[in-house]
Chains A and B, each alone.
Chain A
C-alpha cells in the first residue's frame, strides 16, 4: 500500500486548523500544521507535503507571499497549494492564482468540501506520494532560495 498522503494546513485560527486537521486525519491523511507563512515555508521545505491548504490572511508572512516563495523553491514548487480565505471580495482569488495557488476555496468551507478539493487536486497531479523526478533536474538553476 502507498504510505499516507500528507497535507500541510496553514491557518492562524487554531480552531479551524484543528477542525480541518481532525477531519483530514479522520479521512486518512497525515496532517502537518503551521500558523503563519514563515512556519508554513519551513514545514513545507522540510516535510514536503503532498498538498498545502493555505489561508491567505496570515501573520508574519501572508499566504500570497508564502505561496510565491514555495512556488519558486524547487523543493516545493510541485506541491499543489489550495488557497482558503474568508475574504470573499473580488481580487482575492485572482491574487491567489497570480501568487501560484492551484485551487481556491472561500470560507466558510465545510471540511468535506475541502476533502473533495484535495482529492481532486491529488488525482490531477499524479496521485500517490511519489515526488516528481524533475526536481533534481532543475535544482541547480534555482539554487537554495527559501
Chain B
C-alpha cells in the first residue's frame, strides 16, 4: 500500500516535473521505508524511463553463515521465478552471482524461463557500501539493456546511497526489535520472580521494578490513601536501608527490612539483598527482597517453644525437689529402684534399713545386706507382676539391734511415655505398729464391749431402781395422805371434847353457875389456858398436815403490803403492850402491789412478830419491807434484839415441835410448830424464809416473797 502510494506520487511528480525524472526518483526514494520499497521504486523507474520489459531486483541477504542473493521484486517476470531466486554467493558458477561480484554493469545472455531464444540483459550491481572488500548489496537485471552512460551511473549511485540508508535502517530496526524482545524477556523473567526485584538509582528512585516490587513500592494517584501512605512508608524504609548499605560501601548487602503490605496493612519482614551495579546511566542498585515474615513467625514459635520447654523443665525440677522433700518428710521408708533393680533414691527412714556406715560392726552390715536382698527380691517380683501396683510382706530386721521389722511393701512402677519401665517406687509400711495397734484395738474393743455391757446392766438396774422408787413414792404419798386424813380426823376428835372443856370453863368463869371463889377462878383460868394451848397445837398440826398433803388452799389476790403490815401490828398489839418493847416499822416507799395469798402472808408475819416479841426480853422489834435487787422479790424482815439463836440451832428451829429449849421446864411457851408452818407456807407461796441470828444479839427472820406468786 505504501509502495503503491509511493509509486503514485512518483507518477504525479513525473507528470508535474517532466523536465527531469531524476527529481521524482530522488523524491520517491526519500519516501521509501525499507529496501522492498526502494526495489519497487527502482524497478518502476527502469521500466518507465529506460523502456525495460523485464526487470529483476535481487538483494544480498545474510542467512546464518552463508550469504545469498535473493529475489525481491520484478517486472515482466513470473513471481515464482523471483521468489525462487536464492543463489549462494559462494557459487561462482551462477551468472547472477558473478555479475554481482563483478562490481560493474555486465551484459548477460540468458535463456528465458519459457524456453525461448536467449535474451540480452544488463546486470547492474548496486554497491551499498564503500570499500572494495565488501560486495555490492543489490543486483538489478534489466532487459533490454539500457544505455550505459552518466544517467545510469547517477541512477546506480542514487540507488546505492538509498539502499545503504535503508539497509542501515533495516539493521537498526532489527537491533531494536532484538532489544525490545530481550527487554520483554527480561521483564517477564523479572515478573516471574516471586520476590520483589528492583533497580534503583543512587538517590533511591525506582528505575525498574517487577510487579511484586511495584505492589509494595509504587502507587498510582487514583489509589487509596492508605495504600499510598503504605507505599510512601515502604519507599522511605527501603531508601534508608539502601543508603546505609551505600554508606557502608559493602559490595553485597543483606539485611532485614520490615515493610507494610499496602493491600492489607499487615507487617511483613523481608530480607534485603542489594548489589551495586554499573548501568549506562551510572551507578545503580539491584535489590532483591525475600519475604521472611513466615520465617520470622516460625522463629518466634521456635523461641516460644524453647521458652516453654525451659519453663516446663524448671517446673519438673521444682516438682522433683518438692518430691524429694515429700519423700524425706514421709515417716515410712521409701525406696526408688531403677529398671535394673538398683536403688537410686531413698529417704532417711529407708537409709536406716538399707545402709550402714563404713565403720559399722559386721553384724549391722550383714543385716543391711539381708534387708537389701529381701527388697531386691520384692522389686524383682514387681518387674514380672502385671499391673502398676505390687504388694508384699517383707521380714526385715533393724540393722542396729536385729529386732524384727515386719513391713508391708507397696510398689508402684513408673513407665516412660513409650511404656518402658523406668523406676519402681516402694513404700515400706512398718507393720509392728499396725500389729500393736490391732492388738490394742482389740483390747479396746473388748473393754468397750465390757463397758457397754456394764452400762447396759447399770441402766437396767437404774430402771429397776427407778421403778422401785416410783412405787415407793406412791406408797409414801399414800401413807402421807393416810396420815393427813388421820390427823384431820384426830383433830376433829380432839376438838369435840375440847369444845366442851373450853365451853364449860368459859361458862364457869362467866359465873353462869354462880360466883367463884378466887382460888376456884385461878384454877379455872389454868384449865382455860391449857385448853386453848391444846387447841393451838391441834390447829397447827392440822395446818402442817394440810400443807404436806398438798391440800392447803391458796387464794391469790393483789394487795398493798403496808396495809397488811398495819393489820399484823394491830393483831399482835396485846402482846406488844404486854412486852413493853419498842416496836418499829420501816417500810420503803413506792412498793409494788403484791399478788399472793394475803391471809397466809399475814399468818407468817403474825407468827414471826409473835416469836420476836416472845423471845426478846428488852430492846426493840423492827419490821421492815423493801424491794429486793432482783425486782421480783419483796423482803419482809422481822428483826429483834432478843436472845438470838446459835448457829447449830438455826436449822433445827424450823423443824416440827422444836424450840431451842425443848426441855419440859422451858421458859417460853408456844407449840413449837410456828416456824415449821411459816417455812411451809412461804414455800407454798413460792418464797422462802431466811434467818440471820447471833446468840445474845438478836435474830432477823426474813420472808422472801415473790411479788407475783403462782399457785403451786
By a beta-carbon cutoff of 8 Å, the part of chain A in contact with chain B is 13, 15-16, 19-20, 22-23, 26, 57, 86-90, 107-112
Contacts and interface: CB of A to CB of B under 8 A. Distances in A.
Contact of B495 (A19, A23, A26, A108): A108
A23 B499 contact: no
B503 A111 contact: yes
B536 to A, nearest CB: 11
21 contacts: A13-B496, A13-B497, A13-B499, A15-B497, A16-B499, A16-B503, A19-B504, A19-B507, A20-B503, A23-B503, A26-B507, A57-B492, A86-B493, A86-B496, A88-B539, A88-B542, A89-B551, A107-B498, A107-B499, A109-B503, A112-B510
B492 A87 contact: yes
Contacts of A112: 506, 510
B492 A90 contact: no
Contact of A108 (B498, B507, B512, B553): B498
A13 B535 CA distance: 18
Contacts of B493: 86
Interface residues of B, number: 23
B120 interface: no
B371 to A, nearest CB: 96
B499 A90 contact: no
A88 B491 contact: yes
B506 A13 contact: no
A142 to B, nearest CB: 34
B164 interface: no
A20 B499 CA distance: 10
A20 B500 CA distance: 9
Contacts of A23: 503, 507, 512
Contact of B507 (A22, A86, A90): A22
Contact of B499 (A22, A57, A89, A109): A109
A117 to B, nearest CB: 14
The 7 closest A-B pairs by CB, nearest first: A86-B495, A108-B499, A15-B500, A19-B503, A86-B492, A107-B499, A107-B495
B488 A89 contact: yes
B498 to A, nearest CB: 5
A90 B551 contact: yes
Interface string B480-498: 0000000010011101111
Nearest to B542: A88
Contacts of A19: 499-500, 503-504, 507
Among B488, B496, B499, residue most surrounded by chain A Cβ atoms (within 10 Å) = B499
A13 B539 contact: no
Nearest to B494: A86
B260 interface: no
Given A87-B488, A109-B503, 14 more contacts: A13-B496, A15-B497, A15-B500, A23-B507, A26-B507, A86-B491, A86-B493, A86-B496, A88-B491, A89-B546, A107-B496, A108-B498, A108-B499, A108-B502
B499 A86 contact: yes
Contacts of B492: 57, 86-88
A24 B674 CA distance: 36
A135 B376 CA distance: 131
B545 to A, nearest CB: 10
A93 to B, nearest CB: 12
A20 B546 CA distance: 30
A74 B186 CA distance: 163
A110 B535 CA distance: 12
Contacts of B499: 13, 16, 19, 86, 107-109
Nearest to B498: A108
Contact of B506 (A15, A57, A86, A110): A110
Contacts of B496: 13, 16, 86, 107
Contact of A16 (B488, B500, B539, B542): B500
B56 to A, nearest CB: 182
Contacts of A87: 488, 492
Nearest to B484: A89
Nearest to A85: B492
Given A23-B507, A88-B542, A13 B502 contact: no
Nearest to B485: A89
A89 B490 CA distance: 12
A86 to B, nearest CB: 4
Contacts of B504: 15, 19
Contacts of A15: 497, 500, 504
A110 B512 contact: no
B213 to A, nearest CB: 132
Nearest to B504: A19
A108 B504 CA distance: 12
Nearest to B546: A89
A90 B553 contact: yes
Nearest to B531: A108
A112 B503 CA distance: 9
